[in-house]
Amino acid sequence: MSADSLQHASVLEITFRRRDRLPLEVEVLRVEELLQRPEVDPARPSRADFHTFLLVEEGASSHLVDFERYRIGPGDLLVIPERHVQAFDPACVMNGYMALFTARFLEGCGLDVRWPTEASRILLRSGMHLCLGDASFARVRQVFAVLADYTGSPPEQFADEAVASALSLLIVTVSGLPETAASVLAQEPHDELVSRFMELLEARFSAEHQASSYARALHTSLRTLDRHLMDARGQTARQAISSRLVLEAKRLLTRPDVLVKNIAYELGFSEPQHFPRFFRTQTGLSPEAFRTSLGRSAKARRIGTRHYSRSLPEAGTGQPSMAGLPVS
């Protein structure tokens, strides 16, 4: 793998940095301004320690989220949870809003325990791609503007509570949209056992690989857990665990400085030689081959930027999207 490929295959780890003007871990940006910053390479895949809400007002492009590419256009809203790999298309020309905020800010304000619906929790755990109708778009855009006004003011003119309230309003507004309800139903039909399993999986996937252990922790049988998961998500507990491990492995493999054996240990494989076999069984590629393919893909996207941009279909039809972001 060439040095050039390694450079573009690697994922930039981004940490929310507080600025003197904005001491809180919340920020609202204009997309067009971000794309024009000379020090920013938005096409380089990045993995941030904050959540992102991206609202498209004008323009059409695509956005990479956890190795899946989504076409987005006017009226589209992308909710990208923290630690998800993401990147703009190199030819992106787009106007809109981006709201960035950390889980630390939510927890510090107590917002993480206030969500009234399952949709709110799914938004920040799994993410979502929504094509908003006119009424929903107008509502969300208005709340973005309110949050932008608060976060753009000098520190002495706003209080933490005001920003927290505006951010809470944004999350609750998006959670209550009819497009969100349709997408949540398609992603994850409401099932309390499934919801508890997914939350437990996110917390323990690297430490616990046995499906039976999750069933015991949830005070149910593995057969019952599998039945609920098959009805809601079309996979067993074991398959869900494997999918989550593979996703995290792919994220870690984008870092060329990390040895495969160290990735194995980080994912909870006590015998590191078992990890390559597991990864190949799940993906059809060895970890090294997957890492190499990322470099080739990045180079191909740079070479084919203009052609790819022209080939994008129109987006933003105003109909609910049935394809949510990959569940992590």
Distance of alpha carbon 66 from alpha carbon 327, whole angstroms: 10
Q: What is the pLDDT of residue 314?
A: 37
Give the length of the chain: 328
Domain region containing 139:
3-188+306-311
Q: What is the pLDDT of residue 241?
A: 97
Largest CA distance in the chain: 57
CA–CA–CA angle 95, 101, 105 (5° rounding): 160
Q: Is residue 247 part of a domain?
A: no
Q: Is residue 196 part of a domain?
A: no
Q: What is the pLDDT of residue 206?
A: 95
The per-residue pLDDT string of the chain (328 residues; one tens digit each, 9 = 90 and over) reads 333 333 344 667 776 665 554 557 888 999 998 888 877 777 888 888 899 999 999 999 999 899 889 999 999 999 999 889 888 988 888 999 999 999 888 877 766 555 556 667 777 878 899 999 999 999 999 999 999 988 877 665 556 778 888 998 999 899 889 998 888 766 665 788 998 999 899 999 999 999 999 999 999 999 999 999 999 889 999 999 999 999 999 989 988 888 999 999 999 999 999 999 999 999 999 999 998 887 655 444 443 333 223 233 333 333 333 233 333 3
For residue 217, count other CB atoms closer than 10 A to its CB. 13
Report residue 228 as tokens: 């609920």
Q: Is residue 132 part of a domain?
A: yes
Q: Is residue 263 part of a domain?
A: no
Distance of alpha carbon 168 from alpha carbon 165, whole angstroms: 5
Q: Is residue 75 part of a domain?
A: yes
Distance of alpha carbon 150 from alpha carbon 171, whole angstroms: 16
Q: Is residue 149 part of a domain?
A: yes
Domain with 85 in it: what CATH number? 2.60.120.280
Q: Is residue 226 part of a domain?
A: no
**Smallest Cα–Cα separation from 76: which of 35, 144, 132, 119?**
132
Do residues 35 and 88 lie in contact, with contact meaning Cβ atoms separated by under 8 Å? yes
Q: What is the secondary structure of 285-299 as a DSSP string?
A: S-HHHHHHHHHHHHH
Number of domains in the chain: 1
Question: Phi/psi at 128 (nearest 5 deg)?
Answer: -165, 150
Q: Is residue 109 part of a domain?
A: yes
DSSP code of residue 19: B
